């Protein structure tokens, strides 16, 4: 059931996943960073969210290709407007789901 | 500390940080349920039982790398190959933990070690937005992490038990996390520099993802964009003339 090889794999996976999550917090939390590093880290959340999001919206297939006809993309445009106007997580998530779901019924 | 009158245990007061955390976590949970179920179904088809699925979700707690690990297991890959792939896929969390560390000064080692366990794309995005607002601490952030974590573990195990009976994509639930990332991205854009970083990261990540397989585009796109914008000297004011930026040094 929980044989040795599987246990070795998941413990190893857990370690290599945990260390990159923990080390920066342990090393940087109580340290004053130089101004440039702080300015850089200040931009990281916006950059990383966009880097996670945009490829999901406009690429697809295997191998990956640019695809502007995806429902993910067309639902994202009104969802984005709703987000800017309402600034509400609840409204944006629920309306985004509804938009995506309704567009799917037509395509 | 002052105690609530008529509430002998002080329970109400002690749990006051629980609610904001739970409130912030619900979109993550909504998004994790279908993904977790799907993972459980796949893992079960690859020959893992519910205990093995749960163990992986507890020890690893990183969706995309778990999917990859299961497909590697199925294709008969070796243990070290699977572990190394997991490392590469999850390396992006270095950036997230570094960005969070700006807000966690003065925290104890233990709570930081516990918090680190729950750093995911989703919890990072939610907690960062809250830390930025100012009224956030590690305790509500931990509630976000562990609520999401619990839902993830249970969803993957439920998927392993019989998730194939649940229709995929009901009510657009598979779009919940995308919509959540959209609103969180909007909330991160607080100046023209943030806007440029986001635009540049989106373009460069997309281009990189077209040339290089895997998810290295997340790290490459965001590091490239943040570095370029940091290198540009600041002489602008915020979006539409608002001077909401900190003065330089």
pLDDT digits (tens, 9 = 90+) for A60-71: 988 899 999 999
Q: How many domains does chain A have?
A: 2
Q: pLDDT by residue (tens digit) across B32-79?
A: 988 898 889 889 988 999 999 999 999 999 988 999 899 889 888 889
Q: How close B149 gets to chain A, by Cα (Å)?
A: 14
Q: What is the pLDDT of residue B74?
A: 87
Structure-model confidence comparison of residues A10 and B174, the more confident one: A10
ipTM value greater than 0.95? no
Q: What is the pLDDT of residue A83?
A: 96
Same domain, A19 and A36: no
Res A7 pLDDT > 60: yes
B182, A83: Cβ pair inside 8 Å?
Answer: yes
Q: What is the pLDDT of residue B11?
A: 67
Same domain, A63 and A18: no
Least CA distance to A58: which residue of chain B? B206
Helix H segments across chain B?
11-14, 18-45, 50-59, 63-74, 79-90, 93-101, 109-117, 121-133, 138-162, 176-188, 192-211, 216-231
Same domain, A96 and A52: yes
Range of the domain at A17: 1-31
Q: What is the pLDDT of residue B168?
A: 64
Rounded CA separation A104/A98 (Å) = 10
Q: How close A90 gets to chain B, by Cα (Å)?
A: 8
Same domain, A57 and A86: yes
* Percentage of residues in chain A having pLDDT higher than 70: 98
- Residue B7 confidence class, pLDDT cut points 50, 70, 90: very low
CB burial class (10 A; 0-12, 13-18, 19+) of residue B189? buried
Q: What is the pLDDT of residue B244?
A: 44
Rounded CA separation B125/B176 (Å) = 14
* Percentage of residues in chain B having pLDDT higher than 90: 60
Rounded CA separation A92/A39 (Å) = 29
B171 touches chain A (CB under 8 A): yes
Q: What is the pLDDT of residue B140?
A: 94
Q: What is the pLDDT of residue B169?
A: 66
Q: Which of A28-32, B48-52, B127-131, B224-228 has the lowest mean pLDDT?
A: A28-32
Res B10 pLDDT > 70: no
Q: What is the pLDDT of residue B167?
A: 67
Neighbours of A41 (CB within 10 A): 20
Q: What is the pLDDT of residue B155?
A: 94
Nearest alpha carbon to residue B50 among B161, B215, B196, B211: B161
Q: Which of A52-56, A101-105, B245-249 has the lowest mean pLDDT?
A: B245-249
Same domain, A73 and A97: yes
Same domain, A38 and A76: yes
Query: Could you give the C-alpha distances from B3 to B9, B12, B59, B122, B182, in angstroms and in order?
Result: 9, 10, 39, 35, 41
B182 touches chain A (CB under 8 A): yes
Least CA distance to B83: which residue of chain A? A13
A100, B174: Cβ pair inside 8 Å?
Answer: yes
Q: What is the pLDDT of residue A56?
A: 93
Helix H segments across A2-88?
4-28, 35-58, 71-86
The whole model's pTM is what?
0.81
Q: What is the pLDDT of residue B77?
A: 86
- Residue B215 confidence class, pLDDT cut points 50, 70, 90: confident
Q: What is the pLDDT of residue A5?
A: 92
Structure-model confidence comparison of residues B10 and B209, the more confident one: B209
Same domain, A90 and A40: yes
Same domain, A49 and A14: no
Q: What is the pLDDT of residue B1?
A: 42
> What are the residue boundaries of the structural domains of chain B, listed by start?
16-173, 189-249
Same domain, A36 and A25: no
- Lookup result for tokens 């009976």: B165
Q: How close B86 gets to chain A, by Cα (Å)?
A: 6
Q: What is the pLDDT of residue B124?
A: 96
Structure-model confidence comparison of residues B131 and A62, the more confident one: B131
Same domain, A48 and A95: yes
Rounded CA separation A13/B84 (Å) = 8
Least CA distance to A96: which residue of chain B? B179
Q: How close B2 gets to chain A, by Cα (Å)?
A: 30
A17, B249: Cβ pair inside 8 Å?
Answer: no
Same domain, A44 and A24: no
Q: Which residues of chain A lie closer than 8 angstroms to B83, CB-CB?
A: 9, 12-13, 16
Res B115 pLDDT > 80: yes
Q: What is the DSSP string of B194-242?
A: HHHHHHHHHHHHHHHHHHS-SSHHHHHHHHHHHHHHHHSPP---SGGG-
Same domain, A12 and A47: no
Counting one residue from chain A and one from chain B, the pairs whose CB atoms sit within 8 A come to 280
* Percentage of residues in chain B having pLDDT higher than 70: 85
């Amino acid at each position: 059931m929980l044989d040795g090889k599987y246990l070795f794999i998941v413990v190893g996976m857990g370690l290599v996943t945990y260390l990159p999550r923990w080390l920066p917090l342990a090393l940087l939390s109580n340290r004053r960073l130089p101004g440039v590093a702080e300015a850089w880290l200040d931009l990281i959340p916006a950059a990383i969210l966009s880097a996670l999001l945009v490829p999901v919206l406009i690429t697809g297939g295997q191998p990956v290709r640019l695809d502007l006809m995806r429902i993910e993309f067309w639902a994202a445009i009104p969802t984005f407007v709703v987000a800017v106007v309402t600034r509400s997580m609840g409204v944006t998530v629920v309306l985004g789901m509804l938009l995506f779901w309704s567009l799917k019924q037509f395509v | 500390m002052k105690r609530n009158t008529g509430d002998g245990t002080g329970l109400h007061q002690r749990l006051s940080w629980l609610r904001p955390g739970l409130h912030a976590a619900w979109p993550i949970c909504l998004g994790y349920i279908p993904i977790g179920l799907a993972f459980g179904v796949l893992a079960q088809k690859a020959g893992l039982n519910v205990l093995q699925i749960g163990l992986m979700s507890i020890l690893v707690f990183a969706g995309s790398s778990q999917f990859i690990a299961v497909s590697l297991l199925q294709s008969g890959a070796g243990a070290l190959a699977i572990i190394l792939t997991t490392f590469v896929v999850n390396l992006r969390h270095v950036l997230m933990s570094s960005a969070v560390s700006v807000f966690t000064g003065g925290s104890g080692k233990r709570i930081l070690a516990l918090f680190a366990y729950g750093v995911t794309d989703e919890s990072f995005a939610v907690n960062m937005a809250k830390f930025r607002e100012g009224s956030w601490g590690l305790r509500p952030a931990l509630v976000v992490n562990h609520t999401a974590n619990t839902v993830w573990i249970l969803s993957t195990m439920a998927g392993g038990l019989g998730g194939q009976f649940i229709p995929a994509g009901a009510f657009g639930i598979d779009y919940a996390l995308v919509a959540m990332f959209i609103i969180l991205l909007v909330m991160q854009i607080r100046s023209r520099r943030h806007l440029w970083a986001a635009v540049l990261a989106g373009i460069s990540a997309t281009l990189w993802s077209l040339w290089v397989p895997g998810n290295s585009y997340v790290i490459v796109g965001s590091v490239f964009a943040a570095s370029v914008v940091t290198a540009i000297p600041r002489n602008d004011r915020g979006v539409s003339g608002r001077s909401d930026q900190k003065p330089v040094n």
